[in-house]
Amino acid sequence: MPKVSQQVSAGDSTTPVIRVRGLVFRRGRKTILDGIDLDIPRGRIVAFMGPSGAGKTTVLQLISGQLRPDEGWIEVNGQRISDMSDKELYRFRRNIGVLLQNGALFTDLTVFENIATPIREHTDLPEALIRRLVMIKLKSVGLGGTEELMPHELSGGMARRVALARAVVLDPALMLYDEPLTGLDPIAVSQVRTLMSETNEALGMTSLIVSHNINEMRKLADYVYIIAAKRIAGHGSPEDLSASNDPGVDQFINGKVEGPIPFHYQGTDTAWSLLG
Protein backbone atom coordinates (compact mmCIF):
# COMPACT_ATOMS: atom_id res chain seq x y z
CA MET A 1 0.00 0.00 0.00
CA PRO A 2 1.49 3.37 -0.90
CA LYS A 3 1.61 5.30 2.33
CA VAL A 4 2.11 8.87 1.35
CA SER A 5 3.41 10.53 4.48
CA GLN A 6 5.46 9.28 7.38
CA GLN A 7 5.15 12.68 9.03
CA VAL A 8 1.44 13.09 9.65
CA SER A 9 0.29 9.54 10.09
CA ALA A 10 -3.22 9.42 11.54
CA GLY A 11 -1.76 7.27 14.32
CA ASP A 12 1.17 9.37 15.42
CA SER A 13 0.23 11.88 18.06
CA THR A 14 -2.39 10.28 20.30
CA THR A 15 -3.80 6.87 21.03
CA PRO A 16 -6.22 6.05 18.23
CA VAL A 17 -9.89 6.29 19.16
CA ILE A 18 -10.66 3.99 16.22
CA ARG A 19 -8.48 1.01 15.32
CA VAL A 20 -9.30 -1.33 12.48
CA ARG A 21 -7.25 -4.37 11.53
CA GLY A 22 -7.57 -6.80 8.66
CA LEU A 23 -11.14 -5.79 7.93
CA VAL A 24 -12.80 -7.97 5.31
CA PHE A 25 -16.45 -7.54 4.34
CA ARG A 26 -18.40 -9.53 1.78
CA ARG A 27 -21.86 -9.28 0.34
CA GLY A 28 -22.74 -12.76 -0.83
CA ARG A 29 -19.77 -13.94 -2.83
CA LYS A 30 -18.63 -10.42 -3.64
CA THR A 31 -15.76 -9.07 -1.54
CA ILE A 32 -16.43 -5.39 -0.84
CA LEU A 33 -13.47 -4.65 1.46
CA ASP A 34 -10.40 -6.81 1.52
CA GLY A 35 -7.98 -6.07 4.35
CA ILE A 36 -8.50 -2.53 5.67
CA ASP A 37 -6.32 -1.16 8.52
CA LEU A 38 -7.05 2.23 10.10
CA ASP A 39 -5.73 4.23 13.06
CA ILE A 40 -7.77 7.34 13.76
CA PRO A 41 -6.76 9.56 16.67
CA ARG A 42 -9.31 11.37 18.80
CA GLY A 43 -10.33 14.84 17.75
CA ARG A 44 -9.36 14.54 14.10
CA ILE A 45 -11.44 15.07 11.00
CA VAL A 46 -10.72 12.20 8.66
CA ALA A 47 -12.05 11.93 5.11
CA PHE A 48 -12.65 8.75 3.13
CA MET A 49 -12.41 9.39 -0.58
CA GLY A 50 -12.26 7.23 -3.66
CA PRO A 51 -14.25 6.11 -6.68
CA SER A 52 -17.96 5.33 -6.55
CA GLY A 53 -18.75 1.90 -5.22
CA ALA A 54 -15.30 1.47 -3.69
CA GLY A 55 -16.72 0.77 -0.22
CA LYS A 56 -16.45 4.12 1.61
CA THR A 57 -19.97 4.08 3.02
CA THR A 58 -19.54 0.43 3.90
CA VAL A 59 -16.52 1.37 6.05
CA LEU A 60 -18.66 3.87 7.99
CA GLN A 61 -21.44 1.31 8.41
CA LEU A 62 -18.93 -1.19 9.80
CA ILE A 63 -17.42 1.35 12.20
CA SER A 64 -20.88 2.30 13.48
CA GLY A 65 -21.80 -1.35 13.98
CA GLN A 66 -24.59 -1.37 11.40
CA LEU A 67 -22.71 -4.07 9.54
CA ARG A 68 -20.46 -6.76 10.98
CA PRO A 69 -17.08 -7.70 9.48
CA ASP A 70 -16.49 -11.13 7.99
CA GLU A 71 -12.86 -11.01 9.09
CA GLY A 72 -10.72 -8.68 11.18
CA TRP A 73 -11.77 -6.39 14.01
CA ILE A 74 -12.83 -2.84 14.81
CA GLU A 75 -12.17 -1.06 18.11
CA VAL A 76 -13.80 2.22 19.06
CA ASN A 77 -12.63 3.73 22.35
CA GLY A 78 -11.00 0.44 23.24
CA GLN A 79 -14.25 -1.50 22.74
CA ARG A 80 -14.33 -4.25 20.11
CA ILE A 81 -17.54 -3.40 18.37
CA SER A 82 -17.27 -6.41 16.12
CA ASP A 83 -17.83 -8.59 19.25
CA MET A 84 -20.72 -6.61 20.79
CA SER A 85 -24.19 -8.02 21.32
CA ASP A 86 -27.13 -6.19 19.72
CA LYS A 87 -27.96 -4.62 23.10
CA GLU A 88 -24.41 -3.36 23.58
CA LEU A 89 -24.41 -2.03 20.04
CA TYR A 90 -27.60 -0.06 20.69
CA ARG A 91 -25.96 1.64 23.69
CA PHE A 92 -22.75 2.20 21.73
CA ARG A 93 -24.64 3.91 18.87
CA ARG A 94 -26.05 6.53 21.22
CA ASN A 95 -22.54 7.98 21.15
CA ILE A 96 -22.45 8.24 17.38
CA GLY A 97 -23.96 11.05 15.34
CA VAL A 98 -24.79 10.45 11.70
CA LEU A 99 -25.45 12.96 8.96
CA LEU A 100 -26.43 11.59 5.58
CA GLN A 101 -26.33 13.30 2.20
CA ASN A 102 -30.01 14.21 2.02
CA GLY A 103 -30.20 15.23 5.68
CA ALA A 104 -33.32 13.07 5.93
CA LEU A 105 -35.38 15.30 8.21
CA PHE A 106 -38.77 13.96 9.23
CA THR A 107 -40.99 15.91 6.82
CA ASP A 108 -44.07 15.96 9.08
CA LEU A 109 -42.24 17.26 12.16
CA THR A 110 -41.19 20.82 12.95
CA VAL A 111 -37.52 21.77 13.13
CA PHE A 112 -37.84 21.63 16.93
CA GLU A 113 -39.34 18.14 16.97
CA ASN A 114 -36.77 16.89 14.45
CA ILE A 115 -33.92 17.89 16.75
CA ALA A 116 -35.73 16.70 19.87
CA THR A 117 -36.38 13.21 18.47
CA PRO A 118 -33.03 11.59 19.42
CA ILE A 119 -33.29 13.06 22.94
CA ARG A 120 -36.79 11.64 23.38
CA GLU A 121 -35.66 8.27 21.98
CA HIS A 122 -32.57 7.88 24.11
CA THR A 123 -33.30 9.73 27.37
CA ASP A 124 -36.05 10.50 29.91
CA LEU A 125 -35.13 14.16 30.23
CA PRO A 126 -37.91 16.56 31.26
CA GLU A 127 -39.50 18.73 28.57
CA ALA A 128 -37.93 21.96 29.85
CA LEU A 129 -34.43 20.50 29.51
CA ILE A 130 -35.18 19.05 26.07
CA ARG A 131 -36.29 22.52 25.01
CA ARG A 132 -33.04 24.04 26.27
CA LEU A 133 -30.86 21.47 24.56
CA VAL A 134 -32.68 21.85 21.25
CA MET A 135 -32.49 25.66 21.35
CA ILE A 136 -28.76 25.59 22.18
CA LYS A 137 -28.03 23.30 19.24
CA LEU A 138 -30.27 25.26 16.89
CA LYS A 139 -28.49 28.45 17.82
CA SER A 140 -25.10 26.80 17.37
CA VAL A 141 -25.93 26.12 13.71
CA GLY A 142 -27.10 29.71 13.23
CA LEU A 143 -30.81 28.90 13.01
CA GLY A 144 -32.28 30.24 16.24
CA GLY A 145 -35.88 31.28 15.55
CA THR A 146 -36.62 28.52 13.01
CA GLU A 147 -37.89 26.00 15.55
CA GLU A 148 -41.53 26.12 14.46
CA LEU A 149 -40.79 25.87 10.72
CA MET A 150 -41.51 22.69 8.79
CA PRO A 151 -38.72 21.09 6.70
CA HIS A 152 -40.33 22.18 3.40
CA GLU A 153 -39.96 25.80 4.52
CA LEU A 154 -36.16 25.46 4.74
CA SER A 155 -33.54 25.93 2.03
CA GLY A 156 -31.27 22.97 1.30
CA GLY A 157 -28.46 24.51 3.31
CA MET A 158 -30.74 25.26 6.28
CA ALA A 159 -32.12 21.71 6.21
CA ARG A 160 -28.58 20.32 6.28
CA ARG A 161 -27.76 22.54 9.27
CA VAL A 162 -30.87 21.36 11.12
CA ALA A 163 -29.85 17.78 10.35
CA LEU A 164 -26.41 18.56 11.77
CA ALA A 165 -27.96 20.01 14.94
CA ARG A 166 -30.06 16.85 15.30
CA ALA A 167 -27.04 14.59 14.71
CA VAL A 168 -25.03 16.24 17.49
CA VAL A 169 -27.84 16.92 19.96
CA LEU A 170 -26.70 14.11 22.26
CA ASP A 171 -23.07 15.33 22.09
CA PRO A 172 -21.72 12.23 20.36
CA ALA A 173 -18.05 11.31 20.67
CA LEU A 174 -17.96 10.21 17.06
CA MET A 175 -19.63 11.88 14.10
CA LEU A 176 -20.09 10.12 10.77
CA TYR A 177 -20.89 12.15 7.66
CA ASP A 178 -21.85 10.60 4.33
CA GLU A 179 -21.55 13.16 1.52
CA PRO A 180 -22.56 16.04 3.82
CA LEU A 181 -21.86 18.75 1.23
CA THR A 182 -23.45 17.18 -1.84
CA GLY A 183 -26.30 19.09 -3.50
CA LEU A 184 -25.63 22.39 -1.72
CA ASP A 185 -24.83 25.73 -3.34
CA PRO A 186 -21.30 27.08 -2.75
CA ILE A 187 -22.33 29.38 0.11
CA ALA A 188 -24.18 26.59 1.91
CA VAL A 189 -21.22 24.27 1.31
CA SER A 190 -18.98 26.77 3.01
CA GLN A 191 -21.41 27.27 5.92
CA VAL A 192 -21.89 23.54 6.53
CA ARG A 193 -18.16 22.86 6.20
CA THR A 194 -17.36 25.58 8.74
CA LEU A 195 -20.00 24.21 11.11
CA MET A 196 -18.60 20.69 10.80
CA SER A 197 -15.19 21.96 11.75
CA GLU A 198 -16.45 24.14 14.62
CA THR A 199 -18.67 21.38 15.98
CA ASN A 200 -15.82 18.89 15.92
CA GLU A 201 -13.71 21.31 17.91
CA ALA A 202 -16.42 22.53 20.30
CA LEU A 203 -17.70 19.06 21.22
CA GLY A 204 -14.28 17.40 21.20
CA MET A 205 -15.58 14.86 18.67
CA THR A 206 -13.83 12.75 16.08
CA SER A 207 -15.37 13.11 12.62
CA LEU A 208 -15.28 10.67 9.71
CA ILE A 209 -16.46 11.98 6.37
CA VAL A 210 -17.22 10.20 3.11
CA SER A 211 -16.90 12.77 0.36
CA HIS A 212 -16.11 13.22 -3.30
CA ASN A 213 -15.38 16.90 -2.83
CA ILE A 214 -11.61 17.09 -2.94
CA ASN A 215 -11.39 20.87 -2.69
CA GLU A 216 -13.58 21.00 0.42
CA MET A 217 -11.76 18.07 2.04
CA ARG A 218 -8.50 19.97 1.51
CA LYS A 219 -9.97 22.73 3.69
CA LEU A 220 -11.69 20.49 6.24
CA ALA A 221 -9.91 17.19 6.74
CA ASP A 222 -6.77 16.63 8.80
CA TYR A 223 -6.20 13.32 7.12
CA VAL A 224 -7.50 11.45 4.09
CA TYR A 225 -7.81 7.74 3.31
CA ILE A 226 -8.32 6.88 -0.34
CA ILE A 227 -10.26 3.65 -0.76
CA ALA A 228 -10.09 1.97 -4.14
CA ALA A 229 -10.40 -1.57 -5.35
CA LYS A 230 -11.45 -2.87 -1.92
CA ARG A 231 -8.38 -1.57 -0.10
CA ILE A 232 -6.67 1.58 1.07
CA ALA A 233 -4.91 2.96 -1.97
CA GLY A 234 -3.19 5.80 -0.13
CA HIS A 235 -3.40 7.94 2.97
CA GLY A 236 -1.95 11.14 4.28
CA SER A 237 -2.72 14.77 4.97
CA PRO A 238 -4.48 16.56 2.07
CA GLU A 239 -1.24 18.43 1.34
CA ASP A 240 0.81 15.25 1.21
CA LEU A 241 -1.72 13.55 -1.03
CA SER A 242 -1.80 16.53 -3.38
CA ALA A 243 2.00 16.37 -3.70
CA SER A 244 2.10 12.59 -4.05
CA ASN A 245 3.75 10.93 -7.04
CA ASP A 246 1.85 7.72 -6.43
CA PRO A 247 -0.09 7.07 -9.67
CA GLY A 248 -3.31 5.95 -7.93
CA VAL A 249 -3.34 8.88 -5.52
CA ASP A 250 -2.47 11.34 -8.29
CA GLN A 251 -5.24 9.93 -10.47
CA PHE A 252 -7.86 10.32 -7.81
CA ILE A 253 -6.78 13.65 -6.33
CA ASN A 254 -6.45 15.22 -9.77
CA GLY A 255 -9.56 13.57 -11.23
CA LYS A 256 -7.81 11.74 -14.07
CA VAL A 257 -9.80 9.13 -15.99
CA GLU A 258 -6.69 7.20 -16.98
CA GLY A 259 -4.70 5.51 -14.24
CA PRO A 260 -4.58 2.50 -11.97
CA ILE A 261 -7.85 3.26 -10.15
CA PRO A 262 -10.55 1.59 -12.21
CA PHE A 263 -13.50 3.54 -13.53
CA HIS A 264 -15.53 0.32 -13.54
CA TYR A 265 -15.69 -1.38 -10.17
CA GLN A 266 -15.73 -4.89 -11.66
CA GLY A 267 -12.21 -4.50 -13.03
CA THR A 268 -10.74 -4.04 -9.60
CA ASP A 269 -8.51 -7.05 -9.16
CA THR A 270 -6.40 -6.40 -12.24
CA ALA A 271 -6.27 -2.72 -11.48
CA TRP A 272 -5.28 -3.31 -7.89
CA SER A 273 -2.28 -5.33 -8.93
CA LEU A 274 -1.12 -2.24 -10.82
CA LEU A 275 -1.46 -0.17 -7.67
CA GLY A 276 0.85 -2.57 -5.90
Ligand X SMILES: Nc1ncnc2c1ncn2[C@@H]1O[C@H](COP(=O)(O)OP(=O)(O)OP(=O)(O)O)[C@@H](O)[C@H]1O
Q: Which residues lie near ligand X (CB under 6 A)?
A: 27, 32, 52-58, 210, 265
Shortest distance in whole angstroms from residue 12 CB to ligand X = 26
Q: How far apart are CA 155 and CA 177, in angstroms?
A: 20
Report whether 177 contacts 205 (CB < 8 A).
no
Please identify, using beta-carbon distances, which residue of 55 and 151 lies nearer to ligand X. 55
Q: How far apart are CA 54 and CA 50, in angstroms?
A: 7
> With b meaning 16 or more CB within 10 Å and e meaning fewer, what string describes 69-104?
beebebbbbeeebbebeeeeeeebbeebbbbbbebe
Instruction: Kindly tell me the sign of the dihedral angle through the C-alpha atoms of 41, 56, 185, 114.
Output: negative
Report whether 229 contacts 272 (CB < 8 A).
yes
Cα–Cα distances (Å) from 169 to 3, 89, 96, 110, 113, in that order, read 36, 19, 11, 16, 12
Residue 3 DSSP code: B
Please identify, using beta-carbon distances, which residue of 67 and 165 lies nearer to ligand X. 67
Please identify, using beta-carbon distances, which residue of 169 and 214 lies nearer to ligand X. 214
Q: What are phi and psi of 172, to 5 degrees?
A: -65, 155
Shortest distance in whole angstroms from residue 196 CB to ligand X = 18
Please identify, using beta-carbon distances, which residue of 56 and 160 lies nearer to ligand X. 56
Please identify, using beta-carbon distances, which residue of 163 and 165 lies nearer to ligand X. 163
Shortest distance in whole angstroms from residue 32 CB to ligand X = 5
Please identify, using beta-carbon distances, which residue of 66 and 242 lies nearer to ligand X. 66
Shortest distance in whole angstroms from residue 58 CB to ligand X = 3
Shortest distance in whole angstroms from residue 179 CB to ligand X = 7
Shortest distance in whole angstroms from residue 241 CB to ligand X = 17
